[in-house]
Amino acid sequence: MGLQLTIYGAEQKCASCVHLPSAIETKEWLEAALNRKFPNADLAVLYVDIEQTTDNEEHKSFSEAILNDEYFYPLVVLNGEVIAEGNPNLKTVSAKVEAAM
């Protein structure tokens, strides 16, 4: 069974995240780091723009929660479970991915 890592964000950074990488940059470095750490993992990494409409109910739900200030973005979700938000820690994300494998 494959793992789905979804990073939610927006093109514009949140006000408190100005000095941090953008959500798309976060997706790119997380994907690269996890692929290096787990080269044989069946891991798909997806970026979802919270300002774009979607028919996917899970994506719509997380996007609305971020827009309603329930979560900070970038929001990192592994198989439907929130594992990090704001400034994700690679060690924490790696541990969650490894535990889910």
Give 44-98 pLDDT, tens digit per residue: 999 999 999 789 999 999 999 999 999 989 999 999 999 999 889 999 999 999 9
CA-based Rg of the chain, rounded to a whole angstrom? 13
> In whole angstroms, what is the distance from residue 11 CA to residue 91 CA?
25
**CATH code for the domain defined by 3-100:** 3.40.30.30
pTM of the model: 0.91
- Residue 100: CB atoms within 10 A of its CB come to 16
Contacting residues for 85 by C-beta, under 8 A, at least 6 apart: 71, 72, 73, 74, 75, 76
> In whole angstroms, what is the distance from residue 33 CA to residue 7 CA?
14
Q: What are the residue ranges spanned by the domains of the chain? A: 3-100
